[in-house]
Structure formats: C-alpha cells, structure tokens
Structure 1
Amino acid sequence: MRPSDIRPAHDGVLSTDLHAEVRSVGTHAEAVLDRPFIEHGVMSTGSAKRILDRVWTVALGELTQLPPTTAPDRIRCLTSLLGTVRDLESRINESRVASSVEVMRSIHRSLVRLQSAKTVDELLTSAAEEVITIGFDRALISTVERGRWNLHTMVIEKDPRLAEEMVAAGREHPPTLDGTLVESDVVDRGEPGLVYDVQDNPRVDRTLVAISGCTSYGVAPINVGGRVMGLVHADAHYARRPVDNTDQSILTLFGEGLGYALARATVLERVSALTTTLSDLTGGAVSPSVQSSSYGLSGREVEVLERMAAGDNNRMIARRLTISEGTVKTHITHILRKLDAGNRAEAVAYWLRR
C-alpha cells in the first residue's frame, strides 16, 4: 500500500486504571522535577512508556549528580519516584501480555462459533456479529467478485439503521477495485491494512466514508485457496480511538480463520444443493435441513424467531442467546426483510404456518 494510506503502528489504548496512574505519576514528576511530561490526547501504551521513560531518565540523572549536601528528603523523593516508574512499567507490560492472551481466546471462540454455519450467507452474516466480540464496535463483511467489492453484512450495535444505510449504499453502487481504492491493494496483495485520515483520504470510497463518519479503519482479506474472496472491515468509532497494529493483527487472524470457515461452508452449501437436486430427480422427500434453509434465514435468525414466537421481548431474547439487544434488533430487521413481513406478528405467524 502507498505510504500515505497506511501509517506506522502505534500500541493499544491503556486501561482506565493504568491511564489514570500514568497521568498521576507524570503530574507528580512534573512537580518534583520541574519540567513537563504529560502528553495531550488519547494515551496509548507507547505514549505511556515514553512518559515513564522520560521521567526515569530525568530523575535518575538528577539523583546521580546530587551534591553530598543534598537533603535526605530529596533523595528519598527521587528514589521513590524511580521505584514507582519501574513498578508501573512492569504492570503495563503484564497488562499487554494478559490482553493479548484474552484477545487470542476471543478470536478462537468466535471462529469456533462460526463453524456451525451451514451456508455462506449464514456464515458471513454471523461473521460480522463475531467481529464485534473481539474488540470493535462496527464491523463490515464483504465479498469480492470480478473486481467488485460487494457489501454483505454490517453490524453496528449502537446504530443498526446506519448499518443498513451503509450496506444499501454499497449495494446500489458496488465499489470497483481498479487500483484507486485502498481495498484494491488488500485484494491484490492479500495483505491487511490500516487506513487513516479517512475523511480526507483520496483512496477510500467517498460515499461510504461520508455515511460512516469514520476517521480510521482496519481491513483484512478473507483468503480461500490462495485467492481473496472477501474483506473484513472494522473500526472503534464509538470508543473514540484510532485503529492500530494490534487491531490489524486481530483482523488478520480473524480473516484467516474466516477463510477456512468460508471454504467449509461453500462445500456444505454445494452438498446441500446437490442433495436437493438428487431428491428432486428421485422424487424423494427434501430433508428437514434443506427445507429449513429455504426460508433464507440463518441459524441465529431462526433462534431469534423461535424466541419471538415464544413471546420473548428483545431483552429476554438477548439474555437467552447471550447477545446484545442491538444485535437482536439487527436479526429482527433481517428476518422481517427475508420473510417479507411488515411486523413481528406477521413474521411469527408466517413462521408458525411453516
């Protein structure tokens, strides 16, 4: 990708507790050493380490050059400050390791859940939901075919309507991957990327970024058999943080796992189609699994519809299925569209008549 599109990596944002402690130490050091240390803006792991490193260097420099007549209180103050810095640096490193381990576990759990998908459509729909569980608040899954970027499913738990608007805009005018967009590089090279200054970046789809209002995003390829078949987009818009190298690594791993799941779902879908064809030729009955899939609902959508039929409201459905209410609303929107139902009651009635 071109240097103007992808910026150098920067580390993840600190936890609230560590952020507060680093700022407290920096403020204390400014008073003790009479010079500025605190940086403005969102504090990342990298910026926190820079602050602590500068505090250490200045405090140690003064401590090693103190004259013999220095008051003991001053020596104790500098020594205590150095000890606090080292302790906080150690805790930041431990936090990063623990966070990395948990992220890997989250990705693994997401990919395991995706294995239950029986069709490509179900898989791609579920994949967008799973991206939300691994550290992002907006996710887009797309397919790539004949030089076209085809938006499939977007999940924005805080604003499902915006997600629908984004997908509708993308489907109305599918972006062309002719080298002008950053996504073209991702597809051609099979490599992920981080995109910054999105609203002013000439290599992004202007229609989509205008609707989304995003300032940075990550994108990773979905590779099947050495060929890029789709894209995973995500950002942390509501968290108000730019994407970083950690996000890129997460999306890369997820995209790789999704590629294997996509290959599996493609095979299952072809087998199902072949089974249906053979059943028609032989006059046999269609299997329940095939009959169920004729409604075009994903497995999760069927679960939501079954809970609707049982009389559960959105909150109850969310609790039973261990998903957010926003995700439930997104599923219901998809259900109403696929069943061509005007409201929940019509959808339930249609389902009960199956």
Structure 2
Amino acid sequence: MESSSAAAARRRADLISQGQSAYSAAIRLVESLPSTSLDADELDDLEQVPSAELRTLDGQLTILAGMMRERLSDPGHELGRERVVELSETLHAVHQVRFSIHDLLGHERLRRMDQLDRELARLRRITDQDELLEKVCESAAAGGGFDRLMLSRVEDDTWRPWRSYSAHVGPDERAFVDWIREVPKIRLSHMLLESEVVRRREPGLVADASADSRVYQPLATAAAQTSYVVAPLIAGDRVIGLLHADLRGHDVVELDRDILWFYAVGFAQIFERAVLLGRLRDQRAEVMRVMQTVEAVLDDLATSEIDLATREETTALAVSRPLRPVVSDRQAVLEGLLTSRELEVLTLMATGATNERIAQRLVIAVGTVKSHVKQILRKLRVENRAEAISQYLRLTIGARED
C-alpha cells in the first residue's frame, strides 16, 4: 500500500509535469506572435526551462498568463480567429494547472497539519521525558509524513547525532545507525547549515546535498541523503537539539521544512512540560519524605513520658532516656562523620530547636552546644544551620522507604 508521503510526492510529480508542458506550450505561442506589443526585454527575462518546484513554476505560469491576457485584450494588434482560439485554449490550460497547484498545495498543507496535530495531541498525554525521547523520531515521521528522522543533541558549540528512525529497514539504514553510534561530536562551524539553524533558531532546507557547501558531507554520505530539512528544538532561550528529516526517493520541499518546524516547536513545548512535571514530582516526594521525618521526630518528643517533676529533674531524666533517632542505613554516613553527641545535637537542630533548647534537653551548657554546632558545620562542609539540617534530612528521609 502506498504511503501518504509517497502518494503526495507522486501527485506533485504529475502536476509538475503538466505545468512544465503547459509552460513550454505557452512560451512557444507567445514568442511566435507577430508584431507583439510586449516589451522584448520582458520576453528575454522569461526562463526557457520551466521550474521543477511547484511554487516557482506557479510564478512562471502567472507571468505567462498575464502576457497572454494582455495580448488578447490589446486593441492595437488584432489577431486572427485561429490565433485567438489558440491563445484562449493555452491560457485556459495554464489556469487549470495553476488551479490544480493551488488546490494541491492547500489541501496537502491542511492534511499534513491535521495529521501533525493528531500526533502532537497523542504526545501530550505522555508526561515522562524518557518516554518522549524514545518516541520522538518515530512520532515526527508519523506526524510529519517523513520516511526518516534523526535526533541530535546540541551542547555549547557542538552537535551530535543521537537517535534515528526509518520507516524502511535495510542495509543502508543499519549502516546509518552504526554511524550514529560511532560519530564524535561535530563542531558547529560557521560554514555548516546546522550552525546557521542554531544561530537563527529557524529551520533549514537542503535541495541538493552534493552541491550545497553548507552540508556536513560525512552525514550526507552516511545517510545517503540528497535532500533534507532540519529544525531546531528550543527550550527556554537555548537550542537543545536538532531534528533532521528526509523522504525516501523524493526531494523535500518548503512544505516539508515548515511541517518539521511546526513539529519541533510543539514537541519542545511538550518535552519542557514533561521535564518540569518530573522535577515537581521529585520535589513533592522530597517534601513528603522530609515531613515524615520531622513527624517522626516530633512524635517522639510528644509521646515521651511526662513525670511530675521540675524542669531540672525532667532534663536529668532525658539523659537516661536518649532521643530515638530515625534508623536508616544511610545514617551510617552521618555516624562516620559525627560523634554521638554531635549527632544528637544535629537531630534536635532538625526539629527547629534553638541552642538554648538543645542545651536544656541534653543538659549541657549553651556554649558547648555552640561548639558542637561549629564542629558539625565544619565536618559536613556546610555554611549554616539550614544547610546542615538539609543534609541531615537528605541522609535520613529514606528510613521509612528502606
């Protein structure tokens, strides 16, 4: 079964052939008209060879159609009946081809944009960045109507091919995958198209890889590329990646460049959202673990037995009933750095206790507490109490999970 991209390429080729035939017939007729009122320079400016690109060909046909209309309506130069009929029929044929070109370009653009929207809508349901990276190449091929996609990373002044997808698997595709695995980082020199894409943050198109000096030839050779498009992936104010795409057996056109660009913009937004959601999930889990640890410490404080005694007697009892720490294998890291007394001080610090409160609880002088705090900061290599507490919680919050 013929793929949509192949069918579109075939329709485009048929229409180019029709347009070139109409153009050749029209220009021969215009040049053969006797005593033409048209400026000779205008005729000289016409391309004798019609374009193989639809939009350019449409422009050429537009010029010829205008010249034929002027010739038909010029009262100063009467034409014979046969010439009028010939001009009218040729003008009609040119208009038919132009209408077909506009119809094809308009419908093809709408069809591919609709296909692209459906694919991006499917990706929006994915919130895991690793899964998105696994699917991006195949997704871009499906959504953009391409036969092959390559994803590259951009880091500082280099880019590196990273992953690829091809709708057709054969020796050439397998060799290309091997090349991607082995290729080193490629410097973004000012002569490369990719450098221009990164600098301008705009997509690019290569019509003929063998004749374009901006092409990175090792890539074109490994991929057997003759024509391709490339678009940047932008996150925030940085280009973080590149998407390359091509068609099997057909040259890419401006519409292919635009479609890949629309996909790159949509995917970059989806990927950025997934990264932010992942970070939020991690932060939420971290906060929940911190709250559980604090809850355990406060619960230990709140459920301690209360005796009918003075404060001095109560603090004396605390010495014989030490604070129950949160048990975790990871706490061994702290135990290897701190003395048991320093660990007790740090545990109380994590509850928000002041130096005075810690001194009362451990029945030691406030100055001694300050000395312990100073040693704790030095051993943990932190600047203040908040950083010490944060490090303590990171090393103990996994206790319940463990």
2:12 to 10, 15, 33: 15
Unaligned runs of 5+ in 2: 1-8, 33-45, 293-402
Bigger drift between 57-66 and 158-167 goes to: 57-66
Alignment of 1:126-275 (within 5 A): 126-133=135-142, 134-159=144-169, 161-180=171-190, 181-199=192-210, 201=212, 203-236=214-247, 238-241=248-251, 243-270=252-279
Q: Do the aligned residues in 2 keep the contact of 1:124 with 1:152 (CA within 8 Å)?
A: no
In 2, the alpha carbon distance for the partners of 1:117 and 1:138 equals 22
Displacement after TM superposition at 1:258 (Å): 1.0
Q: What is the total number of aligned residue pairs between the two structures?
A: 268
Q: Aligned partner of 2:260: which letter?
A: L
Q: Do the aligned residues in 2 keep the contact of 1:177 with 1:183 (CA within 8 Å)?
A: no
In 2, the alpha carbon distance for the partners of 1:61 and 1:44 equals 26
In 2, the alpha carbon distance for the partners of 1:193 and 1:65 equals 48
Displacement after TM superposition at 1:110 (Å): 2.0
Displacement after TM superposition at 1:83 (Å): 3.0
SS of 2:187's equivalent? Answer: coil
Q: Do the aligned residues in 1 keep the contact of 2:61 with 2:94 (CA within 8 Å)?
A: no
Cα distance change of structure 1 residues 13 and 51 upon mapping to structure 2, 3 Å threshold: farther
Q: Do the aligned residues in 1 keep the contact of 2:141 with 2:148 (CA within 8 Å)?
A: yes
SS of 1:198's equivalent? Answer: coil
- Structure 2 residue 113 is matched with structure 1 residue 104: yes
Cα distance change of structure 1 residues 78 and 197 upon mapping to structure 2, 3 Å threshold: closer
Displacement after TM superposition at 1:112 (Å): 1.1
Cα distance change of structure 1 residues 108 and 169 upon mapping to structure 2, 3 Å threshold: same
User: What do the CA deviations read for 1:24-78 (whole angstroms, capped 9, x no partner)?
Assistant: 434544675566987367342312431453255157426637865x542332222
Unaligned runs of 5+ in 1: 1-11, 283-354
Q: Do the aligned residues in 1 keep the contact of 2:152 with 2:241 (CA within 8 Å)?
A: yes
Displacement after TM superposition at 1:235 (Å): 2.0
In 1, the alpha carbon distance for the partners of 2:62 and 2:271 equals 45
SS of 1:42's equivalent? Answer: coil
In 2, the alpha carbon distance for the partners of 1:218 and 1:128 equals 14
Identity within the alignment, %: 26
- TM-score, normalised to structure 1's length? 0.62
Displacement after TM superposition at 1:277 (Å): 8.1
In 2, the alpha carbon distance for the partners of 1:216 and 1:127 equals 21
Higher relative contact order structure (alpha carbons within 8 Å, sequence separation ≥ 6): 1
Larger Rg over CA atoms: 2
In 1, the alpha carbon distance for the partners of 2:170 and 2:234 equals 28
Q: Do the aligned residues in 2 keep the contact of 1:199 with 1:213 (CA within 8 Å)?
A: no
Cα distance change of structure 1 residues 51 and 259 upon mapping to structure 2, 3 Å threshold: same
Cα distance change of structure 1 residues 138 and 19 upon mapping to structure 2, 3 Å threshold: same
Residue 64 of structure 1 corresponds to which residue in structure 2? 74
- Structure 2 residue 91 is matched with structure 1 residue 82: yes
CA RMSD of aligned residues (A): 3.7
In 2, the alpha carbon distance for the partners of 1:102 and 1:132 equals 15
Q: Aligned partner of 1:101: which letter?
A: L
